[in-house]
Structure 1
């Protein structure tokens, strides 16, 4: 799932003519490598064109503005994370304790597997009204997943469970950021997050 940490150079895939969906995917992958290797500040449409081995008009055709590029990259990384989380949580009929541990480990694993790119892109979009809308859309999707996973094991009212899951998502993202920045170990983050998830799952009406 994670993009290899290598520089992308122009080759037949980058310099040749690709169908539009494939070209867009290639540009997003290249943009992600730029953020990882050089930082989000270096991600411009012009620099993306150079790294991807295409002309500048090609990048403008797909994203129009730098903000548009950042938003699409932000959405793509998070969608990838959500898909991986759903895959890891696909097993049904887990006991409550196993569900709590699996959710904690899966969410943190999917977040840390992205490296620090997601947080870096989010920081680059800070203050953007467009980013705020996209961010809330992504957060709501994750909250819905948490509710779906925990609802069979929780006696909390649905409305309260959704609020609690919103707090869990924020905590999970904060712990993911702490791990990727070396502030705590994966084991420490998992222990803390599973405790929080367990408290929500065992909540009373």
Structure 2
């Protein structure tokens, strides 16, 4: 009598049912993988269901629409970026050099951690008024965080400069992600952009590497 394991029985053994939170995590992970391997245009709810090994109603139950899925992907990216920046700020010195380095490094690092997927998500966001609104809301929060972090060195920073800084951050990060420039080059250039913006706005306050006065 053969001692070979009953592979059919093993293959038909019931798998553990994922909790809603575990399924949500799985779907987002697969969604990022689809974007990385096939591009953003390939990311439909139906295709996500197929790649995840679930039925379409499961995916629709979690995200509702493709717009909802893209919004969740962007929210996850933003949350990761915020956590990375907050952790680095908490460990940084109260100097312009240190704080500007944190802003530049955390922004570029977060994009690189997500690889080439996030530019496609950003492009998709721009194609939908609903998604563009979500993106702008998160960008406004980032702008205000940077304004607060840099205020001790420049006083009130004009919004135009902060939005220009964000535009540079996106462009440099995506150039690094695509290999057009190195991560170090992206961080260095963004640091210089931030430092120059602060210098233009400074009105007799601390400059350069000076510490924040108590």
Shorter-normalised TM-score: what interval? 0.7 to 0.9
Structure 1, unmatched stretches of 5+, are 1-10
Tell me by how many angstroms 1:17 deviates. Answer: 2.5
Q: Is 1:90 equivalent to 2:87 in the alignment?
A: no
Match of residue 175 from structure 1:
172
Match of residue 133 from structure 1:
133
Q: For the pair shown, which has the larger CA radius of gyration, 1 or 2? A: 2
Match of residue 64 from structure 1:
64
CA distance in 1, matches of 2:16, 2:54: 9
Structure 2, unmatched stretches of 5+, are 1-10, 204-214
SS in 2 for 1:113: helix
Go from structure 1 to structure 2 and tell me whether the alpha carbon gap of 1:142 and 1:197 turns closer, same or farther (over 3 Å shift): same
Go from structure 1 to structure 2 and tell me whether the alpha carbon gap of 1:16 and 1:48 turns closer, same or farther (over 3 Å shift): farther
Tell me by how many angstroms 1:91 deviates. Answer: 2.2
Q: Deviations over 1:40-62 (max 9, x none)?
A: 11111111112212111100111
Match of residue 148 from structure 1:
148
Q: 5 Å matches for 1:86-125?
A: 86-125=86-125
| Structure 1 runs of 4+ with >3 Å offset | none
CA contact (8 A) 2:125 2:135 kept: no
Match of residue 81 from structure 2:
81
Superposition TM-score, scaled by structure 2 size: 0.80
CA distance in 1, matches of 2:74, 2:103: 23
SS in 1 for 2:180: coil
Superposition TM-score, scaled by structure 1 size: 0.84
Tell me by how many angstroms 1:16 deviates. Answer: 4.0
Tell me by how many angstroms 1:103 deviates. Answer: 2.3
